[in-house]
Amino acid sequence: MLADVPGLIRVENTAPEDMLARCLELTHSVYPHDQVYGRFCTVQEYVDCPPEQVYDYLRHGHHLQEWTYSVRDFAPAGEPGLWVGRDRLAERTPIYCRVLANADAMTVDYHCAWDQGERLWMIYLMRVVPAALVLDRPGSVITWTNCRHPYYDHNPRPDLAPRPDRPWVGDYWDLFYAGHGIELANLKSILEYRHANGLPVSVPPTVAAPR
């Protein structure tokens, strides 16, 4: 029974003018960074490149080596679909990654972790939306969300760190909005440059994928 759920605001119990009043009350000029990006961090961008090509580019994980700031040198990690590379944000840090993509929804999720590949908890959720639908223009909208998994605040396997004083990825959480914004700008620049110049958007991997 919906009536048993406390605190619902629905037109049946709240007149439109009260809804408006409530919304005005909740609308500020500025919001503390932590309130907006403390638990979830979403960045989004318009890209002048067809959505199918953007999706295809994102779906191939080796492209992370182009548009991310520091993920490099991917190679097969020994089990199907699992890759291991280096995150050069921190010295001698392996990053494991598995790509889960859905062509119908054009979602591409990178399931990652530092130091180990058994539990991929650091998950980058990306979605490509045809801009024709949402902005009435050609091209794509990309959204990218990270959720603050408890491991960001607490390294579950400190024993695997290459050195005791190696910074932990979660130490950077408060900079994710800025950092991911910069990486998304990289992504936009690459896609738009190749598309505008009639070049293939995707490029072959430098390391052959295992068959």
Binding site for other proteins (CB under 8 A): 15-18, 20-21, 23-25, 27-30
Task: List the strands of the sheet with 140-147, edge to edge.
Answer: 40-47, 140-147, 122-130, 107-114, 94-102, 82-87, 71-76
Q: Which is nearer to other proteins, 13 or 197 (CB)?
A: 13
Integer Cα distance of 17 and 129 in angstroms: 33
Tell me how far, at minimum, the Cβ of 135 lies from other proteins, in Å.
20
**In 10 A of CB 209, how many CB atoms?**
14
User: What minimum distance in Å lies between the beta carbon of 30 and other proteins?
Assistant: 5
CB of 25 to other proteins, least distance (A): 5
Q: Least distance from C-beta 26 to other proteins, angstroms? A: 10
Three-class SS of residue 174?
Answer: helix
| Closest CB to other proteins among residues 14, 116 | 14
28 versus 211: smaller Cβ distance to other proteins: 28
Residue 19 Cβ vs other proteins, minimum distance, rounded to whole Å: 10
Tell me whether residue 16 or residue 80 sits nearer to other proteins (CB atom): 16
169 closest CA partner among 90, 109, 96, 97: 90
Cβ proximity to other proteins, 29 vs 197, nearer residue? 29
Which residues have CB under 8 Å from 116's CB, separation 6+? 96, 157, 160
Pairwise CA distance, residues 100 & 80, whole Å:
12
Neighbours of 184 (CB within 10 A): 19
